[in-house]
């Protein structure tokens, strides 16, 4: 089968590799679509990200497709049903050990021994990939494959939203204008937050966000230094993961505000903040990691047609075009997905 293999930093090559053979309790999936995220680009560039990649690796952790084979005669999927060839499915990339203290105490996102499809085991930038049945979910008939590439990112955003105490009368600022920022804007709108602002670097992405999400205001934080007001927001969601954005997030908070640190930064990155402000304003600063117990909910939310995913997908690529995207030759991307034809 064809597969894109990352064998070193910035070394992404098309290879012919064997089709995986599903083990007991696993299914083989014929890939229909896989999304490309900032995590994929970070791994390509040599960054560690949420978890260190095992090279060589077939990237792709936002995957959907059809069940092509089953490792044992009877396999139970994550939704409780029995797997069958031809099932349309999406795959949660996060496989936990179920044995460590965090898993046993209901915190699987903090598992000590995680395995991640597309990061530490082969992913969806190939014609086929295998996955344990416990992380494979059947898709509702009304949910298209293209939309289903957003289930993983949406489940991470849902976990972040659940970390916050939301009330309709709050003012919210989203720091960042990429795909995750746009998802958070839609989720906050569903929650009834009355004022949602966004700050970013791309005029095109900010305009897309304002049109899709009825944003109150957008701020372009580039060389003109147009920044959101300080001491103003009840909720701030940081989606970028760089020190300047994190500093901006803290400064934007009014008294009693909550800050969600969602963006994936470098492990050695640091930013400064005024400790007195945290004390005096009674700020709550929370991290949000992975997508515990949220994948099924993300499927249901997408199937409800309350989110606009198609409006955020700016590029549908072939597998052969992915290296150009990773190297920066393709610009203007909010969300890119890889489509596998017949």
pLDDT tens, residue by residue, 188-198: 999 999 999 99
- Residue ranges of the chain with per-residue pLDDT less than 70: 223-225, 342
Q: Which residue has the tokens 């952790």?
A: 61
The Cα 322–Cα 329 span in angstroms is 10
What are the counts of helices (DSSP H) followed by strands (DSSP E) for the chain? 10, 18
**pLDDT in the model for residue 342:** 60
The Cα 59–Cα 120 span in angstroms is 9
Planar angle of CA 310, 314, 317, nearest 5 degrees: 105
- Alpha-carbon Rg for the chain in angstroms: 20
Q: What is the pTM of this model?
A: 0.96
Strands 62-70 and 26-36: antiparallel
**pLDDT in the model for residue 79:** 93
**pLDDT in the model for residue 135:** 99
The Cα 105–Cα 255 span in angstroms is 33
Here the tokens at position 280 are 């005096």
**pLDDT in the model for residue 51:** 85
Residue spans of alpha helices (H) in the chain: 38-45, 101-104, 145-148, 151-162, 179-190, 203-213, 243-251, 275-281, 295-303, 322-327
The Cα 283–Cα 277 span in angstroms is 8
Architecture of domain 2-154+291-339: Alpha-Beta Complex (3.90)
Domain residue spans in the chain?
2-154+291-339, 164-287
Strands 88-91 and 253-261: unpaired
Q: Which CATH superfamily is domain 164-287 in?
A: NAD(P)-binding Rossmann-like Domain (3.40.50.720)
For residue 157, which of 335, 301, 255, 317 has the smallest C-alpha distance? 301
The Cα 25–Cα 76 span in angstroms is 8
């Amino acid at each position: 089968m064809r597969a894109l293999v990352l064998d070193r930093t910035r070394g992404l090559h098309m290879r012919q590799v064997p089709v995986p053979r599903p083990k007991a309790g696993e299914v083989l999936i014929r890939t229909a679509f896989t999304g490309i995220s900032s995590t994929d680009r970070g791994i390509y560039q040599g960054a560690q990200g949420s978890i260190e990649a095992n090279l060589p690796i077939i990237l792709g952790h936002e995957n959907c497709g059809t069940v092509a084979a089953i490792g044992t005669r009877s396999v139970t999927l994550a939704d409780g049903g029995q797997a069958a060839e031809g099932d349309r499915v999406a795959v949660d990339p996060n496989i936990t050990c179920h044995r460590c203290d965090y898993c046993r105490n209901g915190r699987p996102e903090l598992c000590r021994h995680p395995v991640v499809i597309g990061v530490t085991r082969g992913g969806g930038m190939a014609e086929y990939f295998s996955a344990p049945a416990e992380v494979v979910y059947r898709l509702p008939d009304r949910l298209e494959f293209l939309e289903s590439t957003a289930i993983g990112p949406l489940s991470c955003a849902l976990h972040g939203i659940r970390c916050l105490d939301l009330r309709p009368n709050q003012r919210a600022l989203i720091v960042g204008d990429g795909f995750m920022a746009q998802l958070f804007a839609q989720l906050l709108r569903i929650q009834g937050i009355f004022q949602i602002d966004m700050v970013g670097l791309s005029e095109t992405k900010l305009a897309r966000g304002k049109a899709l999400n009825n944003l109150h205001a957008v701020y372009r934080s580039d060389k003109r230094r147009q920044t959101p007001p300080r001491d103003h927001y009840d909720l701030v969601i940081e989606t970028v993961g760089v020190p300047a954005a994190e500093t901006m997030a803290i400064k934007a908070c009014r008294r009693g505000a909550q800050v969600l640190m969602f963006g994936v930064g470098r492990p050695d990155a640091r930013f400064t903040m005024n400790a007195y402000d945290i004390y005096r304003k009674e700020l709550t600063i929370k991290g949000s990691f992975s997508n515990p117990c949220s994948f099924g909910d993300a499927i249901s939310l997408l199937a409800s047609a309350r989110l606009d995913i198609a409006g955020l997908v700016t590029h549908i690529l072939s597998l052969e075009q992915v290296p150009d995207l990773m190297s920066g030759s393709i610009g203007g991307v909010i969300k890119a997905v890889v489509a596998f034809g017949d």
